[in-house]
Structure 1
Amino acid sequence: MPLTQDQQDEINELRSTTTQTLRATAPGMEKHLYTAYPVLDHGFVRVIDYMGDDNAITQAARVSYGKGTKAVSNDEGLIRYLMRHWHSTPFEMCELKLHVKLPVFVARQWIRHRTANVNEYSARYSILDREFYIPAPEHLAAQSVVNNQGRGEALSGEEAERVLRYLRDDAMRCYDHYEEMISQDDQQGLARELARMNLPANVYTQWYWKVDLHNLLHFLRLRADAHAQYEIRVYADEICKLVADWVPYAYKAFEDYRMGGATLSSTALDCVRRMIKGEEVTQENSGMSKGEWREFQALL
């Protein structure tokens, strides 16, 4: 389970306490505060704090007082204009702080986004829990034969059982030795900062991750994409739900222009114009490489 009963009780206590404020609040996000949403087998995502809402974006764009215009359509239209024309600064006026529990190998992918403030659980001072990510059988897949970064068909039968057994046994054995090395029973005990190196990359860690909306949407555009690794994509998908409730106008524009939209090179755009005119365009006369042409065809 992602949470112990004590942890859930603490969250329930936090959610039962309310405080008056003059700051702008987003009703959609208020309902999510502190709640832990399960991800993978032991992970979760929960909102610790946030700042701003859709109004904060339009207010910053106009450098105005209050909530912007009285016409909601004008505010939504402005947000769509800002998203469409890649005006990023107004979106930086909103921030989100998350508490995330995730496998170490996912954290190492995640930390590549160097535009957030991060504070991770320290295994120098504390002892990590005996919790490891073990994939569900349907997510055990062979290496893709066409993509060096992707997966192919799912493993099955005895091979799948063997891989799962290795993952469980190796993780448990490593943790057993980790515990033995730091034990204080009739021995000095190895320093925790050294003992942790014996733990596998599927052990769980936790961190606080604070990011502005502009950089958060960039993270989601890459990690909620169908081509992203499953284990990080499920976290991004859960965050998408939170953002949709927090800043609905901004998220809808993001879905339209980033997730659902496409960017064409000048060469590809020229090919589209030629196609509209009725010209037969092939890879050979397109000016594109085979890879570019394959992606262009998939896009169309």
Structure 2
Amino acid sequence: MPTYAPVTLARVATMAEVITENTIRVLDHGFVRLDDAMASDLSVVNGARVSFARHKAEMDESDEGLIRFLMRDRHGTPFEHNAFRFHVRAPLFVAREWFRHRVGSFNEFSMRYAKASDEFYVPEPEDVRSQVGKPGAYSFETVEPELAEQTREDLQAVYDAAYETYTRLVEQGVARELARLVMPMGAYTEFYWTVNARSLMNFVSLRAAETAQREIRRYAEACERFLAEKMPVTHAAFVENDRVAP
């Protein structure tokens, strides 16, 4: 299994724009915002040491060693005594991939009750790619500039037509829960995701990998930035152990 360099602020700057301390812009209209966190390396330490009726107020080197041991030997439950709450804005196809991770809690924006956004994902020219090879053993290659631009124009034309139809249906009195059926997978949605560090590492190990779809990979990298900031020892141990969740 390949190993990866730990997420750093310099690396994040190359793949996402940091809007504020707690928000990273992803893709053209998306973001990942750390809405709240009850997360620290010390929570892992105390979750493990309670087995011996011990409690620590501050971290020391022995605690860092304990975290590395827990990660290396896959003692996972101490990494569950914490929580990250993310506010995410992403295209529908990214959200649907995300929701396949049956961990944490989700609440999503509802097109049934509220008007859909008029913003859609249009990939940058360098992100328009072709699939080469057979399923399970394929790679992606950037297409010629002319095809990339035509693809972007075609997507925008579909989006414009779909949203015009959606708006017309709503204005004519069609219920939003039916009018939303015309919305493409590139439409943006928003959701909250609350997850513990163990499950977050599982998500990152799968979705920040080179085999993951490029768009969700950028969201996973943004989430990993916050993991690294809030729980640096845990994140370092995660990277040292081949980025496999305990």
Same fold (TM over 0.5): yes
| Partners of 2:125 and 2:145 within 8 A in 1 | no
Aligned partners of 1:33 and 1:84: how far apart in 2? 34
| Counterpart secondary structure, 2:85 | strand
| Counterpart secondary structure, 2:174 | coil
Residue in 1 that maps onto 2:180: 196
| Counterpart secondary structure, 2:241 | helix
* Deviation (angstroms), 1:114: 0.5
Compute the RMSD of aligned alpha carbons.
Answer: 1.9
The alignment's TM-score, normalised by the length of structure 1, stands at: 0.71
Which string of whole-angstrom CA distances, capped at 9 and with x for unpartnered residues, describes residues 26-54 of structure 1?
Answer: xxxxxx99732100000000111111311
Aligned partners of 1:155 and 1:33: how far apart in 2? 34
Which residues of 2 match residues 218-229 of structure 1 at below 5 A?
218-229=202-213
* Deviation (angstroms), 1:151: 4.4
Structure 2: runs of 5+ lacking an equivalent: 1-18
Higher relative CO (Cα under 8 Å, sequence separation at least 6) belongs to: 2
Q: How many residues align?
A: 224
The alignment's TM-score, normalised by the length of structure 2, stands at: 0.86
Residue in 2 that maps onto 1:39: 26
Q: Residue 236 of structure 2: which of 229, 242, 252 is its match?
A: 252
- Identity between Structure 1 and Structure 2 (%): 40
Which string of whole-angstrom CA distances, capped at 9 and with x for unpartnered residues, describes residues 71-102 of structure 1?
Answer: 61100000000000111110000110000000
Residues 1:56 and 2:43 are matched in the alignment:
yes
Which string of whole-angstrom CA distances, capped at 9 and with x for unpartnered residues, describes residues 206-238 of structure 1?
Answer: 000001111110000001111111100001111
Aligned partners of 2:23 and 2:187: how far apart in 1? 19
Aligned partners of 1:150 and 1:42: how far apart in 2? 29
- One-letter amino acid matched to 1:240: E
Residue in 1 that maps onto 2:103: 115
Q: Which moved more, 1:192-201 or 1:34-43?
A: 34-43
| Partners of 1:143 and 1:150 within 8 A in 2 | yes
Residues 1:97 and 2:85 are matched in the alignment:
yes
The structure whose Rg is larger is 1
| Partners of 1:33 and 1:48 within 8 A in 2 | no
Q: Residue 56 of structure 2: which of 44, 67, 78 is its match?
A: 67
* Structure number having the greater strand percentage: 2
Structure 1: runs of 5+ lacking an equivalent: 1-31, 262-300
| Counterpart secondary structure, 1:128 | coil
- One-letter amino acid matched to 1:67: K
Moved beyond 6 Å, runs of 4+ = none
Which residues of 2 match residues 130-209 of structure 1 at below 5 A?
130-148=118-136, 151-183=139-171, 187=172, 189-209=173-193
Residue in 2 that maps onto 1:273: none
- One-letter amino acid matched to 1:115: V
- One-letter amino acid matched to 2:164: D
